[in-house]
Chains A and B, each alone.
Chain A
């Protein structure tokens, strides 16, 4: 089996980066940046998730078919949230009388 063996050094580097990003997200959340707080929190979380996906989960060395399957999942996640929010956020546009 021609599996890719990732050097242990890379695992520890990713681990250190994940810990640093955790400290960063806690630090940044204490500063008032207005709406940017949420953007920062999500940007850091996505970065951490990508590190785990690419290295711990070996996605970087996976087949294109695997990439396709994951992309499909993420796209449907986007559709779910986007279409729900087009409903939730636009309800106030129409004045309903009860």
Chain B
């Protein structure tokens, strides 16, 4: 099996060129992902510049402790993902399987905490729409903020679900010994995706949870 996967497709000069091409392809995909999230970040910047107070007040509805815990969980999952790639590079099957499992477990933890946060918002009537329960002076701006919050964290969570799905395929194949020193490109590229999703959260956390803390 490793002999077949270690070989390179006929259009490449060698395995290294094939690896570089795969890496570039993944990065081009991630650039489209940057632009995908950029639309929502732009909406955030535009509306926050129009309603700075409303956004800061609405930010108080979010739980900094849960957001902080989730940030830590996600950063830790990035570490375990990096260690999984490292294990794959060295051809260590057992550590690879363990680190993939840990990464998936941490990703799931993030989603569970996010789920509790969402449930709390629904319970408090903080979901934008006709049943929005807050009727203070800047209720409109707060609805805008929470719309952006749900859109951005929702799309981010969807990426996490996809990431866990990708990792489960890697896990299945890693257990069968499909990756080794000579061929671990799928592990590395899935790692790039996982870290990218982490970076999106690195920006979402301060921009959504922390903007109202000093007021």
- A interface residues (Cβ-Cβ under 8 A, vs B): 1-3, 5-6, 8, 11-12, 14-15, 18-19, 22, 25-26, 29-33, 37-38, 41-42, 44-45, 48-49, 52-53, 55-58, 62-63, 65-66, 69-70, 72-74, 76-77, 80-81, 84-85, 88-89
**Is B86 interfacial (CB 8 A cutoff)?**
yes
Main DSSP-derived SS at the B contact region: helix
List, in ascending order, chain B residues with CB within 8 A of A44's CB.
Answer: 206
- Contact residue among B24, B35, B68 (Cβ-Cβ distance under 8 Å from A73): B35
Q: Is the CB of B206 within 8 A of A77?
A: no
Q: Mark B82-119, 1 if CB is under 8 A from A, else 0.
A: 11001001100000000000000000000000000000
Residue of B23, B34, B82, B89 touching A66 (CB-CB under 8 A): B23
Which chain B residue shows the least CB distance to A83?
B42
Hey, which chain B residues are within 8 Å of A33, CB to CB? 214
For the complex, count residues of B whose C-beta is within 8 A of A.
Answer: 54
On whether the beta carbons of A25 and B89 are closer than 8 Å, the reply is no
Chain B residue at smallest Cβ distance from A65: B24
CA distance A81 to B215 in the complex (A): 26
Write the nearest CB–CB distance from B66 to chain A, whole angstroms: 12
In contact, A22 and B68 (Cβ under 8 angstroms): yes
Q: Are A41 and B210 interface neighbours, CB within 8 A?
A: yes
B203 nearest in chain A by CB position? A45
